[in-house]
Amino acid sequence: MSGPLAWSHRTTEVGEAGLHQKRAATAAERAAIAEALDLISCEELEADYVIRALQAGHFRMTGKISARLTQACVVTLEPLAQRIEEEFDVDFLPADSLPDAGDAEVEVLSAPEIEPIAHGLIAAGRVIFETLSAALDPYPRKSGARFQWEDPAGAVATGPFAALKKLKDET
């Protein structure tokens, strides 16, 4: 499995009672996550999840992640500490039995999340990484941070519209 979290489980590991896992990302995995998600750092990432067999070849993975990370403020670029707690619930099906949406209109938020089982492996790390990625604030902003831009005095307009402005001012 590729990606920052190569955590996976063979479907044969999942017994009747299910498979319960508590995992914490290593320093190398956290560094890879920070790089992949353009974070300043990922100080902690823990996952607690259970994989259960539903029926022949179908599995469900439920759990939660907890993360401490640092993003850059979009205004000041200063470090901004974040705490993320997020739950997930994903079904895994053999790749050849994934439902085909075809031309049918699907309500994205109401459809269950379904992942393929590739080579008999349940890609837990991919689900955890995607859950973390989706939970990030896309525009982290420090409290009170404001963007204040001023046109420098005496700035000369350049570009394709500068000539049009000059023509307009002359008429």
Q: Give, for all 171 residues of the chain, the pLDDT tens digit.
A: 467 899 999 999 998 889 999 999 999 999 999 999 999 999 999 999 999 999 878 999 999 999 999 999 988 888 999 999 999 999 999 877 766 655 555 555 555 688 889 889 999 999 999 999 999 999 888 887 666 666 665 555 667 777 677 777 776
* Domain-embedded: residue 2: no
124 sits in the region (left: phi over 0; alpha: psi -120 to 50; else beta) called: alpha
Q: Which domain holds residue 117?
A: 9-170
* Domain-embedded: residue 54: yes
| Residue 95 phi, psi dihedral angles, 5° rounding | -55, -35
* Domain-embedded: residue 1: no
* Domain-embedded: residue 160: yes
Taking the mean position of all CA atoms in its chain, how far away is CA 119?
24
166 sits in the region (left: phi over 0; alpha: psi -120 to 50; else beta) called: alpha
* Domain-embedded: residue 31: yes
d(CA 55, CA 76): 52
The answer to whether 19 and 13 have CB atoms below 8 angstroms apart is yes
* Domain-embedded: residue 116: yes
Q: How many domains does the chain have?
A: 1
Q: What is the pTM of this model?
A: 0.77
